Amino acid sequence: MANPGETSAAFLLARPGVRRVPTARLELFDQPGFLSADLCEELIGLIDQDRRPSTIADPNGDHYFRTSETCDLNPAEPAVQALEERLLALNGIDPAHGEPAQGQRYDVGQEFKAHTDYFEPDGQDFARFCSVAGQRTWTFMIYLNVVEAGGGTRFKVIDKTFHPETGKLLGWNNHRPDGTLNPATLHHGMKVRKGVKYVITKWYRERPWGWE
C-alpha cells in the first residue's frame, strides 16, 4: 500500500468472498463467513468478561445516543491474535496503524444512533484523539452472532441495511477518493428488539497508534 494505514478496493476485492456494495457514494464491502463460529464464540466470551458502558468522543447531550457496552480486547488472548491475523490477511494494513480491537454488546433496546467513525475536525476532543495517530482511515466490523430481531446496521445515505450473521464482516473507507472525510459513511447500529448482539470493531489510523 502507498500508505501503510490504508487498504484499497482492489486489494479487498482480490480476497475470496469479498463483495462491494454498488454505490458511488462510499467504498463499502462485506464478506460473509469471515470468522468461524468457534472463534466468534471465543470472542463473545471475552466481551462478556470485561464489558463496560460505551462512550462517545464528543458528548452531544443525548445520554441515549450510544447505549451499548464495550470491551477493550486483550491483544495477548489467542482468540484476539487469530482475529488480527485474519484482518491482516484481508486488508494488508500495517498492524501498527490499528487501534486495539474492541468488542460491543447490545442488549434489547440498546443502539448506537446514526454516526460516523471519523473524528470531527471541529470537535472539542479532536486534538486529544488525533494528535498522535491522526484520523481514522478504515473501519472493519464483524458480527459475532445472529440476533433474533433488530440490531441491523443501516447506512442511511445509501439506504442499505445489513443484518447480523455469525462471522460476517463489513468494511468501509471513512474518506472519499480525494482524501476528504466522507459523511456518506453515516451509519446507525439499530436497536435490538429480541436477543443480544455482539460485534467486533477494528479501526485503523493515518499514523501508527502510539498510545499506551
User: What does the pLDDT read at residue 127?
Assistant: 84
Which residue from 104, 124, 67 is spatially nearest to 203, judged by alpha carbons?
104
Side-chain half-sphere CA neighbours of 97 within 13 A: 22
Q: Would you call 119 exposed, middle or buried from its count of C-beta atoms within 10 A (0-12, 13-18, 19+)?
A: buried
Q: How far is CA 70 from CA 12, 56, 200, in A?
A: 27, 11, 10
Grid coordinates of 94: 500495517
Contacts of 123 (CB under 8 A, 6+ apart): 57, 58
Claim: this prediction has a pTM higher than 0.85 = yes
pLDDT digits (tens, 9 = 90+) for 163-189: 999 999 999 999 999 999 999 999 999
Let me know: does 35 contact 87? Beta carbons within 8 Å. Answer: no
pLDDT digits (tens, 9 = 90+) for 25-70: 999 999 999 999 999 999 999 999 988 876 555 455 544 566 788 9
User: What does the pLDDT read at residue 30?
Assistant: 98
Radius of gyration of the chain (CA): 16
Domains of the chain: 9-154+161-180 (2.60.120.620)
pLDDT digits (tens, 9 = 90+) for 84-123: 999 999 999 999 999 999 999 999 999 988 899 999 888 7
